[in-house]
């Protein structure tokens, strides 16, 4: 049957990554393709205690509808944390709780993008964000990156070349997919360019707290003088993605309109989850919990990098993330990483090829590896299998 879908629905179902994850789901395969946090680090007992307490103290309220902007206790706790940990000067009236950053990206796009408006993104970037921008009819333009993230001079050139830019989307910390981080001076420049060209910045920071080496860097929002930056983060990587809770921080006027849009999307984010996370934060030291995640991911990343350096053929380059969950690899000689993927599957190992992360011009020979959800022996054996598959392709 012809369903007469709207223009927002992709013309053909080209869910490349879905297909990759399906193949990689075979239990024989060691898969570096996923992007999941390590489940053994979820604070299950503490969450259970928080949940029991919520049912005892606030059972009826927690099961009732709530305000679209979110639970007031949770918003206060987030505001306090963002001030102390991120140096973002904000009050709870600047915060709206969302159903994860994915919803933040969707609602901000819905608010800002008219058909044909330009969204500037890092090249490569988070592919689910690309799907959202496409669904609202945006023209997506990739901005060059280097080891330090989006290049400010390329950003300014794009702002000059495209007068109808509506949004700049950036992931400044341990970017998905590259693991790269933008230094302070660039963050200031991005904030200044947003003001100069009167364009909004969507600062997506799901991984910022998972820094396991180097010094923490203040977000772009810290340098925002006039409300051009919307900061967004999430409990998905520091607590549990299944709670589906994130937040945005923006100018109060922006938040008020965001709340109107959220109301028509889902009325509010899960009220019970919000109560439980607020209770968890009151009764536990979230910093100590995050430190456990950092320690585990640090060990896994270091092991994967060591194995890559030892086992991958000469000429292969990789990023050196100081946090987050991903390593980006570049193989020489224009190897098609979709073909490499097929060869790796024959060797019972998988990754995500770089192609789908590129908004426009694709740079060949790149791919993403996840380490957060991998055991030591899987890292060792999986990289070994990949090394064989890459060598075979390079010899061809």
Q: To the nearest whole angstrom, how small is the minimum distance from the Cβ of residue 321 to ligand PMP?
A: 13
Q: 255 or 325, CB closer to ligand PMP?
A: 325
Dump the DSSP string for 292-337.
HHHHHHHHHHHHHHHHHHHHSPTT-EE---SBSSEEEEE-SS---H
Which helix (H) or strand (E) segment is 367 a member of?
Answer: strand 366-370
Query: Rounded to an integer, what distance in angstroms lies between the CA atom of residue 326 and that of residue 300?
Result: 11
Q: How far is the CB of 381 from ligand PMP (least distance, A)?
A: 25
> Shortest approach of ligand PMP to residue 271 CB, angstroms?
17
Q: How would you classify residue 118: left for phi > 0, otherwise alpha for psi between -120 and 50, otherwise beta? A: beta
Interface positions with ligand PMP (CB under 6 A):
35, 100-102, 126, 171, 176, 204, 206, 234, 236, 241, 246
Spell out the residues 6+ positions from residue 290 whose beta carbon is closer than 8 angstroms to its own.
Answer: 209, 210, 238
Report the residue count for the chain.
Answer: 396
Q: In angstroms, what is the minimal distance from the CB of 235 to ligand PMP?
A: 7
Residue placing its CB nearer to ligand PMP in the complex, 117 or 204 = 204
Q: Tell me the closest approach of the beta carbon of residue 133 to ligand PMP, in angstroms.
A: 13
Is the Cβ of residue 276 or residue 393 nearer to ligand PMP in the bound state? 276
Q: Which is nearer to ligand PMP, 35 or 149 (CB)?
A: 35
Q: How far is the CB of 314 from ligand PMP (least distance, A)?
A: 31
Count the alpha carbons within 13 Å of 344 in the hemisphere toward its beta carbon: 31
| CB-nearer residue toward ligand PMP: 234 or 279 | 234
What does the DSSP assignment read for 5-25? --TTS-SS---HHHHHHHHHT
Considering the complex, what minimum distance in angstroms separates the CB of residue 148 from ligand PMP? 17
Residue nearest to ligand PMP (CB): 100
- Beta carbon nearer to ligand PMP, 66 or 236: 236
Q: Which is nearer to ligand PMP, 171 or 272 (CB)?
A: 171
| CA separation for the pair 220, 203 (Å, rounded) | 7
- Residue 116 three-state SS: coil
CB atoms within 10 A of CB 129: 24
């Amino acid at each position: 049957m012809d369903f007469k879908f709207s223009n927002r629905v992709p013309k053909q179902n080209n869910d490349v990554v879905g297909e990759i994850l399906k193949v990689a789901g075979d239990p024989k395969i060691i898969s570096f393709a996923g992007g999941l946090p390590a489940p053994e680090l979820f604070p299950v007992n503490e969450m259970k205690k928080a949940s029991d307490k919520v049912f005892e103290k606030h059972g009826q309220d927690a099961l009732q509808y709530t305000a679209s902007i979110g639970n007031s206790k949770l918003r206060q706790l987030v505001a306090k944390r963002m001030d102390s940990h991120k140096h973002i000067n904000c009050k709870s009236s600047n915060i709206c709780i969302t159903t994860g950053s994915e919803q933040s990206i969707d609602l901000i796009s819905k608010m800002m993008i008219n058909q044909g408006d330009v969204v500037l993104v890092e090249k490569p970037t988070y592919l689910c964000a690309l799907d959202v921008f496409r669904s609202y009819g945006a023209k997506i333009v990739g901005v060059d990156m280097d080891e330090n993230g989006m290049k400010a001079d390329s950003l300014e050139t794009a702002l000059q070349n495209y007068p109808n830019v509506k949004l700049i989307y950036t992931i400044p910390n341990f970017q998905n997919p590259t693991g790269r981080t933008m230094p302070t001076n660039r963050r200031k420049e991005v904030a200044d360019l947003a003001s100069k060209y009167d364009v909004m910045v969507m600062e997506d920071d799901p991984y910022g707290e998972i820094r396991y080496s180097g010094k923490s860097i203040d977000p772009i929002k810290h340098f925002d003088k006039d409300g051009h930056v919307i900061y967004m983060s999430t409990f998905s990587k520091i607590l549990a993605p299944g709670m589906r809770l994130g937040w945005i921080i923006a100018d109060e006027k922006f938040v008020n309109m965001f709340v109107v849009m959220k109301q028509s999307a889902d009325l509010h984010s899960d009220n019970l989850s919000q109560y439980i996370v607020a209770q968890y934060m009151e009764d536990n030291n979230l910093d100590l919990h995050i430190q456990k995640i950092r320690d585990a991911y640090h060990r896994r990343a270091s092991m994967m990098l060591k194995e890559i350096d030892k086992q991958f053929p000469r000429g292969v380059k990789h990023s050196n993330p100081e946090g987050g969950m991903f390593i980006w690899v570049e193989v020489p000689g224009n190897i098609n990483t979709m073909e490499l993927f097929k060869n790796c599957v024959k060797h019972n190992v998988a990754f995500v090829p770089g192609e789908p992360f590129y908004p426009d011009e694709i740079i060949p020979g790149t791919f993403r590896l996840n380490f957060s959800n991998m055991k030591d022996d899987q890292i060792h054996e999986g990289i070994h299998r990949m090394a064989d598959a890459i060598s075979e392709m390079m010899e061809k």
